[in-house]
């Protein structure tokens, strides 16, 4: 009997530290504004290591007809990656093959460059390190206002 109780106690104690198998994925939908260079979601929160399904929608009835993408970057790296995207204009393939994604080790996850009427869902595992992870659109000129923050909170 004592052995059984000990076993039960051990399982109860272990349970909270087991990996979060089957934990719900965070599903986030972000829509680009039809007129301004803005996302409708400025902030969302996920847990460290959580599966994230992030959908970016560029509305078919966009008034400004701008392409948009979304990149999640390392904490504090919004401006560095944004400036790199402005510099990308010098490369004729930047807006086509490269989806307006600059070459940078500060980029963690990204979508393609989406035209009006397109949407894409990217799936990734949230960083283990808690912090504020900026997301930006790197179509040149957008990032300074077309941005938000993915908060990773335990």
Give the binding site for Cu ion (CB under 5 A).
Answer: 68, 137, 139, 142, 146
Provide the 8-state DSSP code for 101. -
Least Å distance, CB 117 to Cu ion, is 15
Rg (CA), the chain: 20
* Euclidean distance between CA atoms 101 and 104, whole angstroms: 9
The residue (of 81 and 137) whose beta carbon lies closer to Cu ion is 137
Q: If we measure between CA atoms, which residue out of 80, 65, 75 comes closest to residue 32? A: 65
The residue (of 74 and 142) whose beta carbon lies closer to Cu ion is 142
Least Å distance, CB 16 to Cu ion, is 41
β partners of residue 123: 53
Least Å distance, CB 10 to Cu ion, is 52
Which residue is nearest to Cu ion, using beta carbons? 137
Least Å distance, CB 103 to Cu ion, is 19
The residue (of 6 and 121) whose beta carbon lies closer to Cu ion is 121
Q: If we measure between CA atoms, which residue out of 90, 113, 92 comes closest to residue 101? A: 113
Q: If we measure between CA atoms, which residue out of 25, 126, 122 comes closest to residue 69? A: 122
Q: 80 near 147, Cβ under 8 Å?
A: no
Q: Hey, CA dihedral for 130, 120, 70, 91, is it positive or negative?
A: positive
Least Å distance, CB 153 to Cu ion, is 27
The residue (of 111 and 152) whose beta carbon lies closer to Cu ion is 111
The residue (of 109 and 152) whose beta carbon lies closer to Cu ion is 109
């Amino acid at each position: 009997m004592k052995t059984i109780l000990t076993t039960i106690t051990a399982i109860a104690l272990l349970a909270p530290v087991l990996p979060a198998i089957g934990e719900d994925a965070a599903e986030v939908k972000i829509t680009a504004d039809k007129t301004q260079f803005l996302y409708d979601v400025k902030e969302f929160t996920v847990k460290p290591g959580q599966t994230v399904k992030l959908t970016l929608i560029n509305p078919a009835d966009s008034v400004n007809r701008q392409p948009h993408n979304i990149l999640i970057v390392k904490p504090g790296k919004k401006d560095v990656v944004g400036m790199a995207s402005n510099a990308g204009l010098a490369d004729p393939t930047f807006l086509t093959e490269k989806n307006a994604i600059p070459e940078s080790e500060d980029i963690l996850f990204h979508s393609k460059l989406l035209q009006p009427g397109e949407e894409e869902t990217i799936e990734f595992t949230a960083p283990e390190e808690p912090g504020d992870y900026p997301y930006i659109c790197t179509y040149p000129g957008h990032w300074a206002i077309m941005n938000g923050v993915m908060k990773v909170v335990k």
